[in-house]
Amino acid sequence: MKPDLEIARAAKLEPIENIAKRYGINRDELELYGDVKAKVKLGIIDRLKDRPNGKYIDITAISPTPLGEGKTTNTIGVTMGLTHIGKKAACVIRQASLGPVFGIKGGAAGGGQAQVIPPEDLNIHLTGDIHAVQAANNLACAFLDNHLFNGNALNIDPDTINIRRGMDINDRDLRNIITGLQGNGVPRETGFDIAVASEVMAILALAENLKDLRARLGRMVVGFNRDGKAVTAEDIKVAGAMTAILRDAIKPNILQTIGGSLAFVHCGPFANIAHGNSSVVADRVALKVADYVVTESGFGADMGAEKFMNIKCRQSGLIPDAVGLVATVRALKSNSGKFKVVAGKPLPDGLVKEDLDALRAGLPNLTRHVRNMRGFGLPVVVAINVFGTESPAEIEMVKKAAREAGASDCVISEVFAKGGEGGAEFARALVKACEEPRHFKLTYDSDAPIKKKVEAVAKNIYGAAGVDWSPEASKRVKQFEEAGFGRLSVCMAKTQYSFSHDPKLLGAPEGFNLPIRDARLSAGAGFVYLICGDMMTMPGLGKNPGGQNIDINEKGEIVGMF
């Protein structure tokens, strides 16, 4: 098959206003950014408020491996599959951070015949939303340091400052820094997080409208005073200016899939650090203009999907009708721990040839994810994303295990090679699952203490025996609760490669204790942010980052992104 970028450039690309018109979005409800991308004004929600919502489907996956599971590709592909079988469907995916684009992951537009196009626009800048997030976040930091410099009238304790600067590039050297070293400054230890892990990005993704965005930004806790009282962005008089920067960023972006389905691309919180889901407003608009909305949660189901349910759905009140869980045979065999994948070298024979023992050893990863999603009271359809190297016996083993674990169905997905046609079986299974009874329930109650919420996720989702708290994390959690923030949800920052905090613990580990190293408060976003083990909130570039391959050709086209 041709490279992804060649496939995308060969696809029919319609004016985005034509795509929007087919979904009932009026021209005056669009803000065009050229011919092929646009923002949708939020007033459309009021215009269509009496229209019933479409069916709401969350796509997630087994624990990721370096091999890739194709979750975004299947989110896009099954949307095309739904369109192929005659349904009016739209997908909702996250915006691409420049960190992964220039780091190791590459693009975030899908792959093969299941892509959002044009991928260059999606992957680099799009409409500038992430840059606006970065600017608003750093404005708050600048206002805070300026407040300290000019006498600290609010008596803020510098040791309790809760906000860090952000940048949308992987840069490990900025993880920990000291500011205030000018002659009469206030020196303090701080650092940078990647912009998409900032509370501002989380707020943008969870806000219902501009008014709610303004209120949430005002509630951001930047630190505590020496009496233990929270000091907010409102208190330092920066929330209004932050909202002004984000005024356009809250409007969801639309592009198109290969084949012409509508694609919403909005917000980009990482799932291994932040809450890992696209915006509430994008979902709300999509649910009014499509009969089936396929939204994606980042990384494995223990990461993005858990946060989709316990954070996003808890706050929005939107309840999914079904879950699609993407798996691959080779990733499941990799979860056996039997194989070592080395970048640039051929895959081990057992990953591309039949190895039922390795597959059997890795299947607990799939079955735990299925049971976890069933634990939310939702029907689950497993999609086996195939590469053509799977044996019939391996396919049958996965199907049997998935159904025994409680999946409504387990089907083959060939969206990479065949686009909408290859996603038709997955689409039909999800349509059927959406008609099944659902008994939605969350992992923990909002009134539970913060530590009990963390324990509920650790034990019920990850399979941990317990939780180990560092003295610093315990101190911070106590401070948050005493300041009145005990009812917030919890957002776990941990490795995406394992149910545990340790990326080497593959499959479905049990009996481990989950170490909580630190705790941060994201009051505007509505959660407490727990950092597990060695997790970093500012990634670093690899030895050979992907960005060194990206360039411009003689035609002025971007090359080397995929």
With contact defined as beta carbons under 8 Å apart, do 331 and 384 qualify?
no
> Does the residue 561 lie in any domain?
no
> Does the residue 545 lie in any domain?
no
The pLDDT score that the predictor gives to residue 105 is 56
Last-in-domain residue among 377, 408, 433 = 433
Cis peptide bond prior to 515, omega within 30° of 0: no
Question: Is there a single domain that holds both residue 290 and residue 419?
Answer: yes
CATH code where residue 193 lies: 3.30.1510.10
The pLDDT score that the predictor gives to residue 106 is 58
SS3 of residue 427 by DSSP: helix
Closest CA to 269 of 461, 137, 178, 78: 137
The pLDDT score that the predictor gives to residue 304 is 95
- Give the integer Cα–Cα distance in Å for 76 and 88: 14
Beta-carbon-side half-sphere exposure of residue 560 (alpha carbons within 13 Å): 13
Question: Is there a single domain that holds both residue 274 and residue 335?
Answer: yes
> Across-strand partners of 257?
116
Question: Is there a single domain that holds both residue 371 and residue 268?
Answer: yes
> Does the residue 353 lie in any domain?
yes
Q: What is the mean pLDDT of each run of 10 residues along the chain (562 residues)?
A: 74 93 97 96 96 97 88 96 97 86 71 90 89 96 93 93 89 83 80 89 96 97 94 97 97 96 93 89 98 95 96 97 97 91 80 94 97 98 95 97 98 96 98 96 97 97 97 95 95 94 94 95 94 79 69 71 62
Residue 347's identity, in one-letter code, is L
Question: Is there a single domain that holds both residue 289 and residue 336?
Answer: yes
> Does the residue 555 lie in any domain?
no
The pLDDT score that the predictor gives to residue 560 is 67
Quick one: 471 exposed, middle or buried, by C-beta within 10 A (0-12, 13-18, 19+)?
Answer: exposed
Closest CA to 353 of 339, 363, 335: 339
Strands 188-190 vs 177-179: parallel, antiparallel or unpaired: antiparallel
Question: Is there a single domain that holds both residue 326 and residue 378?
Answer: yes
> Does the residue 439 lie in any domain?
no
With contact defined as beta carbons under 8 Å apart, do 284 and 45 qualify?
yes
Other residues' Cβ atoms within 10 Å of the Cβ of residue 310: 25
- Could you report the per-residue pLDDT of 3-60, keeping only the tens digit for each? 777 787 777 899 999 999 999 999 999 999 999 999 999 999 999 999 999 999 999 9
Last-in-domain residue among 197, 213, 241 = 241
> Does the residue 484 lie in any domain?
yes
CATH code where residue 113 lies: 3.40.50.300
Domain of residue 462 covers 450-532
Last-in-domain residue among 241, 275, 295 = 241
Question: Is there a single domain that holds both residue 118 and residue 224?
Answer: no
SS3 of residue 94 by DSSP: coil
Question: Is there a single domain that holds both residue 25 and residue 67?
Answer: yes
Question: Is there a single domain that holds both residue 118 and residue 133?
Answer: no
Question: Is there a single domain that holds both residue 300 and residue 374?
Answer: yes
- Give the integer Cα–Cα distance in Å for 290 and 89: 5
The pLDDT score that the predictor gives to residue 549 is 67
The first and second tokens of residue 338, run together, are 């039997």
> Does the residue 443 lie in any domain?
no
> Does the residue 441 lie in any domain?
no
Number of domains in the chain: 3
Question: Is there a single domain that holds both residue 86 and residue 171?
Answer: no
Question: Is there a single domain that holds both residue 28 and residue 83?
Answer: yes
CATH code where residue 471 lies: 3.10.410.10
> Across-strand partners of 519?
530
Q: How many residues does the chain have?
A: 562
Closest CA to 320 of 430, 478, 443: 430
Residue 123's identity, in one-letter code, is N
Question: Is there a single domain that holds both residue 237 and residue 266?
Answer: no
Residue 31's identity, in one-letter code, is E
Closest CA to 101 of 555, 556, 541: 541
